[in-house]
Amino acid sequence: MRTPLIAGNWKMHHGVTATQAFLEDLINQDVPTAVEVVVCPPFVSLPVAAMLTSGSRIALGAQNVHWESAGAFTGEISAPMLIEIGVRWAIVGHSERRSLFGETDEHTIRRARTAQDEGLGVIVCIGESLAQREVEQTFDVLEGQIAGIDRLDPRRMVVAYEPVWAIGTGHNATPTQAQEVHAFLRQRMTEAFGQAEADLLRILYGGSLKPSNARELLAQPDVDGGLIGGASLDVDSFSAIIRTAAECAAGD
């Protein structure tokens, strides 16, 4: 039985003041124990978020992390810096990092490997573009993106399948499309890590996941939670998704 994980990727939203208001509100709404909750604010909001979530059931994630632990890398943040302030997770390989900032599959694996070595859990994002899906390259693209994943520790990793055409567009993958890809990924994880590890590893869906479609997506057998962008910015919609994940885990 995999505990569902609901992670909010705030992207470049919510500075310190908004982060404080959001988290005070979220902490007041009891987070169900059946769900693991992670919020990923922008870097500058992480210290205040760490203070507010300390001792709560909400874990913190960063939106990226560098592959070296220190050095001359202007504009980058390292895993030890994140750990020092209480961050437990890092997103790597988000499609916006790939398409807008030129990050590659190899960067993604290197970032993830160092983060894990330093003690962070990683949320490894993969997903095909619309053009790739239309020419039936989805599985080949995903295969390429996870080519080095066997260098990572499956116990400190979740995979997030985020079809690029679904991110921020309002057009989510159908539950059938999501389950088909997640089952394929579970099979690949079995080949990389063995059955027992693949059975434990959580595969999240991301891409226009919101309260109105959360139930049908999260009810799929190989969908173990979500990475949520737009709908994670509002406490009410984020907590509605968390509650739905708890209900799906309970089989309701």
Question: In this chain, which of 62, 227, 245, 248 binds ligand PGA, going by CB under 6 A?
Answer: 227
Catalytic residue check, 66? no
Distances (CA, A) of 90 to 25, 132, 199: 23, 27, 22
Nearer to ligand PGA (CB atom), residue 58 or residue 192: 58
DSSP class of residue 202 equals E
Helices (H), the chain: 16-28, 46-53, 79-84, 95-101, 105-118, 130-134, 138-145, 175-193, 195-200, 211-218, 235-249
C-alpha–C-alpha distance, residues 79 and 87, integer Å: 9
Catalytic residue among 66, 94, 107, 182: 94
Nearer to ligand PGA (CB atom), residue 9 or residue 177: 9
Nearer to ligand PGA (CB atom), residue 26 or residue 164: 164
Query: In the complex, which residue's CB is closest to ligand PGA?
Result: 229
Question: In this chain, which of 162, 188, 220, 248 binds ligand PGA, going by CB under 6 A?
Answer: 162
Copy the structure tokens of residue 162: 């985020």
**Is residue 36 part of the contact set for ligand PGA (CB under 6 A)?**
no
**Is residue 61 part of the contact set for ligand PGA (CB under 6 A)?**
no
Binding characters for ligand PGA, 196-225, by CB under 6 A (x = yes): ----------xxxx----------------
Distances (CA, A) of 41 to 16, 32, 60, 233: 9, 21, 8, 10
Question: In this chain, which of 15, 144, 168, 194 binds ligand PGA, going by CB under 6 A?
Answer: 168
Catalytic residue check, 180? no
DSSP class of residue 174 equals P
Question: In this chain, which of 4, 5, 9, 242 binds ligand PGA, going by CB under 6 A?
Answer: 9
∠ CA 170-173-177, nearest 5°, is: 170
Interface residues toward ligand PGA, by CB under 6 A: 9, 162, 167-168, 206-209, 227-231
Provide the annotated active-site residues.
94, 162
